[in-house]
Structure 1
Amino acid sequence: MSYSVLFVCLGNICRSPMAEAVFRDKASKAGLREVEIDSAGTGDWHVGKPPHEGTRAILDTNLISYDGMRARKLKAEDGEKFDLIVAMDTNNERDIRSIIGSNTRAEVIRFLSLVPEKGIDDVPDPYYTGNFEEVYEMVGEGCDRLIARIASRQNG
């Protein structure tokens, strides 16, 4: 069973490419088969640019590849292409729903709904906070939960 996941943040240079890279790494190590993984932003300011230097630094430190990743803008068609669209915060979730519309096959969730015990709704944007380590830890936890969710569907 193939499955596709799209991570979405505001500019697609900090949180969503970090989640894409971490999820890709963890999914590979977990042996998940036939999973398409991508990321996008709701805005177009950074289209074509690589991940933010802070994201690259934390991924480098943890030996996680981001080769070839470039920012792109979310498109309406992504609602039909992906099974799951994961918003990094509440504003992203609202904007995703506006862009893809309501008549779509994609399930849209907030990233931290995967880790409800965190007690917060939104992954902080390190573009503004500068705290890439905090975001990396949140992303790791959420990706572990998402892998378990997908693995249970593939094995179920």
Structure 2
Amino acid sequence: MISVLFVCLGNICRSPMAEAVLRQQLQEQELSEQVKVDSAGTGDWHIGKQPHEGTRKILDRNNISYEGMRARQVKLDDFQSFDYIVCMDTNNEKDVRQLFGSRCDGHTKVFKFMSLLPERKTADVPDPYYTGNFDEVYEMITAGCKKLVERIKEQLHEREKEAIR
């Protein structure tokens, strides 16, 4: 099984949106059983809360489920539990790397979401909690998750080839 953790600041806007979108895309590709998806925040002030109203509205509008999703804080164990730790912005990545410390050395599992979309020439997914622009963020996340699905499919294919050997 491959596992993906999306990380943003409070785990109520960007990362739960990415979690829900990726789950939907994996379901459409019939890969749900092979990939675990979760999200977390670097901060603790929204723990236990459901996604932000703006995130819920855009997911509802696009018929994407966020059922059962509640904010949680990223924890040290997440480094071992996830193959991909995808940070929504530079500060989130810095905080995650600081939490994980030397475990990150030499690992490529922690990276910024926008590295999936290098053609965009922007480092960070803007935080709609502050900008209010949930549509822009949804569009970026949808495009980036499609690229991540392709990466995951390649990894699953490689694992299948190795299992045959």
Give the C-alpha shift of residue 101 in structure 1.
2.1
Identity %: 61
Q: Which runs of structure 2 are paired with 1:3-22 in the superposition (5 Å)? A: 3-22=2-21
Give the structure 2 partner of residue 84 of structure 1.
Answer: 84
Give the structure 2 partner of residue 70 of structure 1.
Answer: 70
Structure 2 Cα separation of the partners of residues 23 and 61 of structure 1: 16
Structure 1 Cα separation of the partners of residues 118 and 52 of structure 2: 27
More moved, 60-69 vs 93-102: 93-102
Structure 1 or 2: larger helix share?
2
Structure 1 Cα separation of the partners of residues 36 and 92 of structure 2: 21
Gaps of 5+ in 1: none
Give the C-alpha shift of residue 153 in structure 1.
1.2
1:69 partner SS: coil
The CA RMSD over aligned residues, in Å, is 1.1
Structure 2 Cα separation of the partners of residues 140 and 154 of structure 1: 21
The C-alpha deviation readout for 1:20-46, integer Å capped at 9, x for no partner, is 000000011012241010000000010
Give the C-alpha shift of residue 8 in structure 1.
0.2
Structure 1 Cα separation of the partners of residues 14 and 76 of structure 2: 21
Give the structure 1 partner of residue 38 of structure 2.
Answer: 38
Structure 1 Cα separation of the partners of residues 98 and 6 of structure 2: 16
Give the C-alpha shift of residue 106 in structure 1.
7.1
Structure 1 Cα separation of the partners of residues 101 and 11 of structure 2: 20
Q: Which runs of structure 2 are paired with 1:1-156 in the superposition (5 Å)? A: 2-32=1-31, 33-103=33-103, 107-156=109-158
1:102 partner SS: helix
Structure 2 Cα separation of the partners of residues 123 and 144 of structure 1: 15
Structure 2 Cα separation of the partners of residues 140 and 115 of structure 1: 11
TM-score (structure 1 length as normaliser)? 0.96
Question: Larger C-alpha radius of gyration, 1 or 2?
Answer: 2
CA contact (8 A) 1:8 1:86 kept: yes
2:37 partner SS: strand
